[in-house]
Amino acid sequence: MAFEGLTEKLNIVFSKLKSRGKLSETDINLAVREVKLALLEADVNFKVVKEFIKSISEKSIGEEVLKSLTPGQQVIKIVNEEMIELLGKNASKLNLASKPPTVLMVFGLQGAGKTTFCGKLAKMQKKQGKKVMLVACDTHRPAAAKQLEILAEKTKTDYYFENKVKPIDIAKKAIKQAKSSITDVVIIDTAGRLHIDDEMMDELIELEKIVKPDDKLLVVDAMTGQDAVNIAKTFDEMINITGVVLTKMDGDSRGGAALSVRAVTGKPIMFAGIGEKLDDLEIFHPERIASRILGMGDMLTLIEKAEQTIDEEKAKELGKKLQQASFTLDDFLDQMGQIKNMGPIGDILSMVPGGNKISADDIDEKQMDKTEAIIKSMTKEERTNPIIINGSRRKRIANGSGTNVNDVNRLLNQFSAMKKMMKQFSGKKVQMGKMPGMPF
């Protein structure tokens, strides 16, 4: 996940600060220097780092901090506030037109995930009850229009494209149709290139003047670091973008683009792509991202993910089963599936305060797949009543799941221990903690 290295380095700095009773000016200067190095290693723009460090230094060496009972925490608070400021203070919303449709133009270079973002944004808008139209104005890349058409089918949104027609005419006709069909949001996917060139920019500038979009969103790949910042700066100078979208934020990028792009362009980061699925798009909340970077977690986003992923009726039914100790391996499998739908376990833990301190080596996500394979290799009767699983059945299950008998025995023993625990709470309100058998 992005920021992982930066978070680790900052936590080392903060641990040193908190371990000291009082801080001297020398202590703070040393800590600030280490923060500076951590940011530079994370590929944050040098000018951005310089201003950030200057602001932290000035505020941290004040009398209020030095004479504080908890100076270390005061410094961390200052870093947190400055990082939120750097990222943009508050989440930015789309500029919705007073009279539909709202027209959104999406820009970006090839490979940044521009077309995929259009599909993700369409799905997000659909979830909010809006009627959406996807418009293919990338006539240079033959596969782009087809890709957008497939995304329209998957998201069940309207789609507009005309072959051998200029992008400007496609956009005009699409918006005209959107007005007549009472469409709420029109998302226009524009042409991309492998690099910025005059021909592409001239086409985009001309298209933007005719369409007059309510928002102009630039999609950049967070994995490209400073290149993403330079691309954003160039597009902003030429087209005056209104917002930035960072894709591939689930990768092992150092996070420099996220911490630099707003300061360099003055334009907000509006969305973050966190995976390949159409649901893997988040509104960019500066205060939440700052909290994650500093290892303080992000419980609000975690709760939102849970609300979107976990079936409420199933959750109620599960609660009853747990109280009655009638929880089966089918229920266990279903719960694992819902947790996996929330995203990688490492990402989920990063949202829990202190979860960043758990080493990636301690999280064996493959164990979840192994557990799933074992349960799916059982018959319906075996999943309902595991006590009937004798030696020969265990061998069959192990062979069917590509595991060994020891793996099957371990899962059954863990599940049995959990069932005993549930019986102890039978008839009482069950407090869910870490359930024995949950493979993480």
What CATH number has the domain bearing residue 62? 1.20.120.140
The CATH number assigned to the domain holding 389 equals 1.10.260.30
Q: What is the mean pLDDT of residues 126-137?
A: 95
- 317: in domain: yes
Averaged confidence pLDDT in the chain: 82
Q: Over 80: is that where the pLDDT of 353 sits? A: no
66: tokens are: 């030095």
- 440: in domain: no
Q: Which domain holds residue 202?
A: 102-296
Q: What is the pLDDT of residues 152-200, one digit of tens each?
A: 999 999 999 998 899 999 999 999 999 999 999 999 999 887 778 788 8
The whole-number pLDDT of residue 50 equals 93
Domain co-membership, 107 together with 207: yes
**431 falls in which pLDDT band (50, 70, 90)?**
very low
The whole-number pLDDT of residue 432 equals 38
Domain co-membership, 354 together with 248: no
Three-state DSSP class for residue 426: coil
Contact of 243 with 270, CB cutoff 8 Å: yes
Question: Which candidate, 113, 132, 133, places its Cα nearest to that of 278?
Answer: 113
Q: What is the pLDDT of residues 219-235, one digit of tens each?
A: 999 888 788 888 999 99
Tokens 């999943």 sit on residue: 383
- 430: in domain: no
Give dist(CA 79, CA 60) in Å, integer. 9
Domain co-membership, 321 together with 390: yes
The CATH number assigned to the domain holding 110 equals 3.40.50.300
Q: What is the pLDDT of residues 279-302, one digit of tens each?
A: 889 999 898 888 888 876 655 666
Tokens 């102890």 sit on residue: 424
Domain co-membership, 273 together with 308: no
Tokens 């077309």 sit on residue: 115
Q: What is the pLDDT of residues 256-266, one digit of tens each?
A: 888 889 989 99
Give dist(CA 290, CA 312) in Å, integer. 30
Q: Over 90: is that where the pLDDT of 28 sits? A: no
Sequence-distant (6+) residues with CB within 8 A of 410 are none
Q: What is the pLDDT of residues 191-209, one digit of tens each?
A: 887 778 788 888 899 999 9
**334 falls in which pLDDT band (50, 70, 90)?**
confident
- 436: in domain: no
Of 243, 274, 296, which marks where a domain is finished? Answer: 296
- 429: in domain: no
Q: What is the mean pLDDT of residues 353-367?
A: 55
- 267: in domain: yes
**345 falls in which pLDDT band (50, 70, 90)?**
low
